[in-house]
Amino acid sequence: MEIPLKRSAPLLPLCLLLLSLVVGFAHVRKSLADDSSGVMKFASHDNDSLISMIHQKIKAESANATEEEMTSYQETIPLTGVSFDMVSIRGGKFRMGSPGDEVDRRENEGPVCEVEVSSFWMGRCEVTWDEYEPFMVTAVDREKHGGRKDFDPKVHTIVDGVSQPTPPYTEMSFGMGQKGYPAISMTQHAANKYCQWLSAQTGHFYRLPTEAEWEYACRAGSETAYSFPEDEIEDYAWYYDNSDDKYQLVGQKKPNPWGLYDMHGNVMEWTADRFVEDYFQAIKGIPRNPWLKPDRLYPRSVRGGSWNDDPEQLRSAFRTGSDRSWKDQDPQLPKSIWYHTDAQWLGFRVIRPLEVPSAEEMSQYWNSATGARK
């Protein structure tokens, strides 16, 4: 798989790296000492029982929504009071992928095929630090997997039961800005768990978009390389030539035809799929709502291009996958399941499907990294 060349990320201070290595090694030794097999095992309260309770809450609060009633709305996160906007997107069929004569096309972008997706709501903007940081940074002692060490089902809520990140070893915006800026450098697992945390609070089922849903929303009815005229890219996208070597406030450029901002550029965005070069062959025979469920950690699919990319990587059909090098600077042993410290151009946005799925399917979306260590 060809990984797009990224400009180097700032290096963490050497002293911080050394300290973190010591702490991480000590943690590993303790974990291994607790398990004679040499395999780290942890008991977690973020299990099927918890997901069943979240599912029941969502069914009670969201199950009666119909396509005819779908409208865009603003959601407020109960624990923080932070609000974000969701855009109503009616499902339909579209031509996914890039045609053979598209400039800068890659082989993994086709052949073009017709795909159908069901209705959903999508975040108007990428998830910001205002939304994400209260999930990421908590004054709670956590196991490596993110479960509370003090969890007590008699005291704590279903929100408390959701696994959340262990503390980062550095300031994760890397000086590029926080309020109103996109959250970055999280793993797909961290983004999935944020969606579960958000769902447990709101009673709405949030998750990452599939590749098909993401491209459907990005194209917004267009069949050209971008959802806007190519010579107007400065009006719609942040990329390497205009970003001043950093991400920018969300929602500053023009939106696409369906009212979504920064689908092209600013930060690349996680999808729910595993990444395969022959995606279009793999979804053959799945014409409706295709989803390639991850079966290993690498690679996972990301879309949209970023502030650190050239215009060809901002095209609607451009697709690439995550890579182990995104953790090169991670000082922990073993590497953190929460952070891609080197991917300072990587974020995500959420969707909410109209149809409420089963608890089992919710678990598959929120726990796609569990046990996948190949």
Q: Give the confidence band of 25 by pLDDT, cuts at 50, 70, 90.
A: very low
Distance of alpha carbon 162 from alpha carbon 148, whole angstroms: 9
Instruction: Determine, yes or no, domain membership for 231.
Output: yes
Burial annotation 193-228 (CB, 10 A radius, 16+ → b, else e): bbbbbbbbbbebbbbbbbbbbbbbbbbbebeebbbb
For 335-373, what is each residue's pLDDT tens digit?
Answer: 899 999 999 999 999 999 999 999 999 999 999 865 543
Instruction: Determine, yes or no, domain membership for 5.
Output: no
Domain, as residue range, for 128: 32-366
Q: What is the pTM of this model?
A: 0.89
Instruction: Determine, yes or no, domain membership for 372.
Output: no
CATH number at residue 327: 3.90.1580.10
Q: Give the confidence band of 269 by pLDDT, cuts at 50, 70, 90.
A: very high
For residues 300 and 274, is the Cβ–Cβ distance under 8 A?
A: yes
Instruction: Determine, yes or no, domain membership for 14.
Output: no
Residue 74, strand partner residues: 85
Residue 114, classed as helix, strand or coil, is strand
Instruction: Determine, yes or no, domain membership for 230.
Output: yes
Instruction: Determine, yes or no, domain membership for 3.
Output: no
Position 212 scores a pLDDT of 98
User: How many domains are there within the chain?
Assistant: 1
For 198-215, what is each residue's pLDDT tens digit?
Answer: 999 999 999 999 999 999
For residues 193 and 162, is the Cβ–Cβ distance under 8 A?
A: yes
Instruction: Determine, yes or no, domain membership for 196.
Output: yes
Instruction: Determine, yes or no, domain membership for 2.
Output: no
